[in-house]
Amino acid sequence: MSLRTALKALPTMLRIGFSEAVAYRAEMIIWVLATTMPLIMLALWSAVARGGPVGRFGQAEFTGYFLAAFCVRQMTSSWVAWLVSYEVKQGTLAMRLLRPISPLLAYATEVLAGIPLRVAIVLPVLGISLWVAGAERAVPTSLGGWGLFALGIVGAWLITFYLNVLLGTLSLFLESSQKLMEVYMVLFFVCSGYMFPVEFFPPGVRTVMEWLPFRYQMGLPVELMTGAHATKEAWELLAAQWTWVLGLGVVSMAVWRRGLARFAAFGG
């Protein structure tokens, strides 16, 4: 598939993906309800903060952080690992391989096409965050801050997508990659800043987490959204995040190509 073919097909694929997202909107609402962990954690940590601040977090800071975590989760989620694993087991991946468009591009557009619907869910939550926590704790307050946040959320989406491709492709090598996906989700919940800010960990543990990709999937965009970093520190963290993007991009593409060489499907 040439780049020109991919670019010509992209708008059509996004339109189809959006139509599917609208058609299956009930499924999306159920998925959104399954990602309300930040709202639960907000209630818990706000109760803790009534007795006094936890680090730099008072009740308003916790509100800004966890509502931002909910918004970032909606914008960066991906279910490609489960989709690839299912299509490998069912053999329906063969149908995608017969098309003149890369299956990975098709998976990516299916995920991206649902973002407009998720923005519709995010906006009211963002409004509540602005009202309760104040603008300085809810969103970037400068154009440069918005630029850093945009870079952070695109990097977070790419890391999540590449990790999903990698995990899904492992189903071509293993009998099932389901257990690995479950381990990945546990690590994501604990290490990404999804359930509590990464800075709550002891310094030694936090150093280890700086070397893992999970923090850059959730914690970093949330911190950039809530203005937790000075500009220099934000750029350093973004450099680490995009190093993960490039590394995972190379590894996941290499594993995908090797995995396809092992793929076989039989019709009946």
Token pair of 20 as six digits:
């599917």
Q: State the average pLDDT over residues 85-89.
A: 87
Q: List b or e across 115-132, with b for residues whose CB sees 16 or more CB atoms inside 10 angstroms.
A: bebbeebbeebbeebbee
Residue 118, pLDDT above cutoff 80: yes
In a domain, 52, yes or no: yes
Residue 244, pLDDT above cutoff 90: yes
CA–CA distances in Å: residue 157 to residues 37, 108, 241: 19, 10, 11
The answer to whether 258 touches 176, Cβ cutoff 8 Å, is no
Tell me: the pLDDT tens digits for 28-80? Answer: 777 777 788 888 899 999 988 888 888 889 999 999 999 999 999 999 988 89
Per-residue confidence at 113, pLDDT binned at 50, 70, 90?
Answer: confident
In a domain, 119, yes or no: yes
Query: pTM of the predicted model, to two decimals?
Result: 0.90
Contacts of 32 (CB under 8 A, 6+ apart): 74, 118, 121
In a domain, 267, yes or no: no
In a domain, 226, yes or no: yes
The answer to whether 216 touches 244, Cβ cutoff 8 Å, is yes
**CA–CA distance, 236 with 248 (Å, rounded to integer):** 19
Burial of 86 (0-12, 13-18, 19+ CB in 10 A): middle
Residue 233, pLDDT above cutoff 50: yes
Considering only residues 261 and 166, tell me which one the structure prediction assigns the higher pLDDT: 166
**DSSP-based three-state secondary structure for 202:** coil
In a domain, 62, yes or no: yes
- Structural domain containing residue 79: 1-260
The percent of residues in the chain predicted with pLDDT above 70, rounded, is 97
Considering only residues 261 and 148, tell me which one the structure prediction assigns the higher pLDDT: 148
In a domain, 265, yes or no: no
CA–CA distances in Å: residue 160 to residues 20, 47, 268: 22, 31, 35
Q: State the average pLDDT over residues 20-27.
A: 74
For the chain, what is the domain count? 1
Q: State the average pLDDT over residues 217-236.
A: 94
What pLDDT was estimated at residue 92?
A: 86
The answer to whether 173 touches 89, Cβ cutoff 8 Å, is no
Mean pLDDT, the chain, rounded, equals 88
Residue 87, pLDDT above cutoff 80: yes
**CA–CA distance, 255 with 234 (Å, rounded to integer):** 31
Q: State the average pLDDT over residues 118-144.
A: 89
The answer to whether 57 touches 49, Cβ cutoff 8 Å, is yes
In a domain, 150, yes or no: yes
> Angle 80-129-233 (CA atoms, 0-180°, nearest 5)?
70
Phi, psi angles (nearest 5°) of residue 201: -75, 155
Residue 215, pLDDT above cutoff 90: yes
In a domain, 116, yes or no: yes
**CA–CA distance, 42 with 45 (Å, rounded to integer):** 5
**CA–CA distance, 194 with 95 (Å, rounded to integer):** 36
First to last CA, the chain: 29
What pLDDT was estimated at residue 174?
A: 84
